[in-house]
Amino acid sequence: MVLHLSDIDYDIDINDELYHKCLECLFSDGFVEKDQSELQLKLELTLELQTIYMAKSEEDSDLHSYKDYEEKYGKEDFVKAADNYLKSRVLDFKDKYVELAKNTIEKYIREKEIYNPSDSELTDEMRSTRAGAFVSIHKNGALRGCIGTIAPTCINVAEEIISNAIAASTRDPRFPAIVADELDSLEINVDVLTTPEPISSPDELDVKRYGVIVEKGMKRGLLLPDLDGVDTVEYQIAIAKQKAGIDVADIDVKLSRFEVIRHV
């Protein structure tokens, strides 16, 4: 979910120009928060601003609020301090799965080198979990690349994302490789897959909840869940068949379903 400043009702008057500008440092491009409620997020952002003037209040006992900071040091100084501080913390609010894919793509496209994330960029789950993962790239709302793995092929999901991010940006046969001039226009999503389970009937599918795998002999096609324009199970299966090179009318196929944790 992408949140913007106007989506949240803050305790401090939203029309306050200074507070608005400070918060816009975080919301200027829109960012994603996955685990926090809006109330928690509001608290976090308010505490970030408090930290800025509290750092000064240790030296200046007359500073009791950001208003005091503004009056003593000037609005420009406070906005600059808030801007620098909030931007330094923005990664804490971003989805680390998406950030890893984004950094990998940028590193590989610009330098042809594989990205090596620091420990702080990965969660414990990213280091310890093995899972299939898909990296999807969109540009101006249109698909620009999507490559993934149904089952894990790497030591952990972080390595899985790195591998598939490079593949999605350079080796999707439907598109030319991404070039550096496009990087600022890309939207990147990461889907981490659960273990697929066989099903006996399309009745066990739900296009919003489950992705589908269709198999016949050596042919296999997959479609992720909850995709724009895919509103029926029949259409979901048909697309998966087409991707696998299976006749859409062929009903003698094996079906499996899976769920995803979507990082946007």
End-of-domain residue from the set 61, 76, 93: 93
Model pLDDT, residue 89: 52
DSSP code per residue over 2-65: EE-GGGS--SS-TT-HHHHHHHHHHHSS-EE-SS--HHHHHHHHHHHHHHHHHHHHTT-TT--S
State whether 108 and 177 are in the same domain: yes
How do the pLDDT tens digits run along the chain, 264 residues long?
Answer: 333 333 434 343 433 444 454 555 444 434 334 344 444 454 555 555 555 555 555 566 665 555 666 677 666 665 566 555 555 554 445 688 999 999 999 999 999 999 999 998 998 889 999 999 999 999 998 999 999 999 999 999 999 999 999 999 999 999 999 999 999 999 999 999 999 999 999 999 999 999 999 999 999 999 999 998 999 999 999 999 999 999 999 999 999 999 998 888
State whether 202 and 166 are in the same domain: no
- What is the C-alpha end-to-end distance of the chain, expressed in Å? 7
State whether 187 and 201 are in the same domain: no
Q: Token pair for residue 94? A: 């971003």
φ, ψ dihedrals at 111, nearest 5°: -125, -5
Q: For the chain, what is the radius of gyration of the CA atoms?
A: 23
End-of-domain residue from the set 62, 93, 124: 93
State whether 111 and 161 are in the same domain: yes
Q: CA-to-CA distance for 178 and 143, rounded, in angstroms? A: 12
Model pLDDT, residue 233: 97
Q: At what angle do helices 17-27 and 75-89 cross, to 10 degrees?
A: 20
State whether 216 and 157 are in the same domain: no
Model pLDDT, residue 32: 35
Look at the chain and report how many structural domains it folds into: 3
State whether 128 and 177 are in the same domain: yes
End-of-domain residue from the set 193, 218, 249: 193
* Burial (CB count <10 Å: 0-12, 13-18, 19+), residue 190: buried
State whether 145 and 205 are in the same domain: no
State whether 35 and 70 are in the same domain: yes
Distances (CA, A) of 206 to 200, 210, 222: 14, 5, 14
Distances (CA, A) of 15 to 23, 70, 76, 174: 12, 16, 18, 47
What one-character DSSP code corresponds to residue 93? Answer: G
State whether 66 and 100 are in the same domain: no
Model pLDDT, residue 95: 81
State whether 109 and 168 are in the same domain: yes
State whether 125 and 209 are in the same domain: no
Model pLDDT, residue 163: 98
CB 136 within 8 A of CB 211: no
Q: 247: domain CATH number?
A: 3.30.1490.150
**CB neighbour list of residue 239: distance below 8 Å, 6 or more residues apart:** 221, 223, 230
Domain region containing 113: 96-193
Which residue is associated with the tokens 């409620």?
37
Secondary-structure percent of the chain, ordered helix, strand, coil, rounded to 5: 45, 20, 35
State whether 102 and 189 are in the same domain: yes
Model pLDDT, residue 33: 42
